[in-house]
Amino acid sequence: MNTVPKCWAVIPAAGVGERVGSSIPKQYLQIEGKTILEHAINPFIRNSRIEGITVALNPQDSHFSTLGIKSSSRKIHSVTGGVTRAHSVLSALDSFEAQLDKGDFVLVHDAARPFLTMNDLDRLIDVCLRHEVGGVIGARVTDTIKQVDNNHIVNTLDRENIWRAFTPQMFKFGALQFAVQKALKENIAITDEASALEYSGYKPRMVEGDSRNIKVTIAEDLSLAEIFLQKE
């Protein structure tokens, strides 16, 4: 068994980007000369603590092989993803089976998040390596948050305790694989890895990061993305 846990990355990139509504999947749209997927993977290529990166691709993907990113780094591998994000993540985790220790860490990062900073990635790794199960990058909400019923406000939530959860989300391989399998088997809707871990009874760590680490989800996010990247 390893005494020092290793870190691996999973990039779910098998979605079609229906809500953005472009002619190609959103992760292959270009911002400042590079695809969103390449921006998303770059910090993991550059971070020497990441041993390997597995990208989950759509069975119909015709773009990934044209990027040249696979040949740019020996750390990059690809697998076929599944029908939901969770299935895609699980497919990548299953491909790790022979290689990883249960105590190794896996960082899952959306292909549609092009603004992860090297600094946030390093801090997440530092904090989670010392944690019992792992955690996620997120940011405090700055707006006042209302609970609404039938278009009428029924409550104002205490903003102090409300955070936005981003990716990467970094967890011990054994616990993560178990939790995602369990949630899928029991038909529990999970939109991120943390919710699977929470469902299995864990309390993941929240690590404060840069609030610009957005997921490109709708067409307007693309304009925001251009602005952020031009500023860099």
Give residues in contact with ligand CTP (CB under 6 A): 12-19, 27, 56, 81-85, 88, 110-112, 215, 217
Number of residues that bind Mg ion (CB under 5 A): 1
Binding partner of 31, given Mg ion, ligand CTP, none, CB within 5-8 angstroms per partner class:
none
Question: Minimum Å distance from CB 177 to ligand CTP?
Answer: 16
- In whole angstroms, give the CA distance from residue 152 to residue 200: 34
Looking at beta carbons only, is 60 or 161 nearer to ligand CTP?
60
DSSP state of 160: G
Binding partner of 88, given ligand CTP, Mg ion, none, CB within 5-8 angstroms per partner class:
ligand CTP
Looking at beta carbons only, is 50 or 231 nearer to ligand CTP?
50
CA angle 73, 169, 41 (to 5 degrees): 25
Within 10 angstroms of residue 12's Cβ, the number of other Cβ atoms is: 28
Question: Minimum Å distance from CB 150 to ligand CTP?
Answer: 26
Task: Provide the Cα torsion 63, 69, 71, 73; round to 10°.
Answer: -150
**In sequence order, what E strands does the chain have?**
7-13, 30-31, 34-35, 50-57, 76-80, 105-108, 134-140, 146-149, 152-156, 163-172, 205-208
Question: Minimum Å distance from CB 60 to Mg ion?
Answer: 15
By CB under 5 A, the residues from 14 to 73 that bind Mg ion are 15
- In whole angstroms, give the CA distance from residue 138 to residue 115: 13
Looking at beta carbons only, is 52 or 114 nearer to Mg ion?
114
Question: Minimum Å distance from CB 154 to ligand CTP?
Answer: 29
Say how many CA atoms lie within 13 Å of 47 toward its Cβ. Answer: 26
Question: Minimum Å distance from CB 151 to Mg ion?
Answer: 26
Question: Minimum Å distance from CB 13 to Mg ion?
Answer: 12
Looking at beta carbons only, is 42 or 84 nearer to Mg ion?
84
Binding partner of 13, given ligand CTP, Mg ion, none, CB within 5-8 angstroms per partner class:
ligand CTP
Nearest residue (beta carbon) to ligand CTP: 15
Backbone angles phi, psi at 4, to 5 degrees: -100, 120
- In whole angstroms, give the CA distance from residue 148 to residue 36: 34
Q: In the complex, which residues of this chain contact Mg ion (CB under 5 A)?
A: 15
